[in-house]
Structure 1
Amino acid sequence: MADIPNLVGIAHAELVEKIGGGNFSASYINWARTMNLLRQHAPGWMPELVPTAECGILHRAPAGGFLLIRFRHSDGTVTPEVPQAVMDSRNNAVAFDKITARDITDTHRRGFCMAAALTFGLASELWAKMPLESGFPAEDDDAAAKSVTQIKPTDGVWEAQSEESQAFLQKIADAVMDIMPDAKEAMSYIESQNLETDEKAALWTRLDSKTRAALKAAHKEAA
């Protein structure tokens, strides 16, 4: 029986990405990087969806639905199940009959990151809004500081998306550019797409600085 690893302190500040500003600001480590940390520091453990009694994966709740997520080791050891609700972009439960395949895949990605924090402590500092340590060695603080400044918050977030997701997000970006300069309408259109945080960050990289500034201002005005 495999031991459950303690991964507190494994995630570091340079993996954190941010999108937007003000009330539209979010800090996170995208799902692809989270999965890579698991492969490196918890080999043999993989996320798993717990099926329903009817052998489906979407569990019914009094209002909406949820996934049950756990981790299974290659030796058969499993962790306790963790529920993750299917939510819209405002974190409200989606009505069960309106849940789509896209909602389920997005919830799976969000949910296994949350479950990894709860089960293994992976990036739990970020979920608790605690500061993360730097991942750079301490022997050369000046060199480390210089390296940090070269890392952009959205570095790698586009590349982490699948080809299908990139095509989907590029269509959204093109539509946003068509709607502009009506930033308020463009912001409403983006929110209607129910994007995950990493998808929003990837979309941000497809927009020019003028458009991003206008969207931030529109969101701040609406808040």
Structure 2
Amino acid sequence: MNEEIVFKYFPELDARQREQTAALGQLYAEWNARINVISRKDMDSLYLHHVLHSLALVRYIRENGLAPASVFDAGCGGGFPGIPMAIAMPECRFTLCDSIAKKIKVVTEVSAALGLDNVKPVWSRTEDLGPEYRCDYVVSRAVTELRRFVPLVRHLYRRGILYLKGGDLSEEIAACVRECRIEPQTVSVTDISGYFSEEFFESKKIICIFPQKH
């Protein structure tokens, strides 16, 4: 499955954004051969499992009028969800952070090859970063349990968290509300299957935490 799956759902992408999106396949194939940031078997599904999945956050942000904004991608790995989001939302500023140097190397090289001047790669643990890295939103893709994730990034967002995860999340959210002392009414879940019809997204969700009105 190639970049056409992205263009199907995001026909508004201009010529430059389409070129950048189409370039992702070759760039990640080359880098993944050198530094394994995506499982080998998953490379064949790069656009479905990684690019389009990341862009679910763009759809949510657009539909809820949250852009333009600054976005912090915590535990970005090789650049997901941050790089596809940065392509689709050039008006937003992105900080992509990971504690593993080789992954940030890939982020740095891929974003440079794409000409993404709205991406800032950072090699660090999130808990070690100061207030100068604070953004409007923190995004991430299932890096750990929500109750462990929230304390690591609490100092890094002004408005809230958008967290990609799959499966039955009721117990995980309840544990987070309880242990992180979050008001239940500030947490909501959006089904990505409402955006994209492919079977892969049937159980995929966005957990949204907005402690304050946004």
Structure exhibiting the larger radius of gyration computed from Cα positions: 1
TM range (shorter): under 0.3
TM-score normalised over the length of structure 1: 0.24
- Give the structure with the higher percent strand: 2
- Give the structure with the higher percent helix: 2
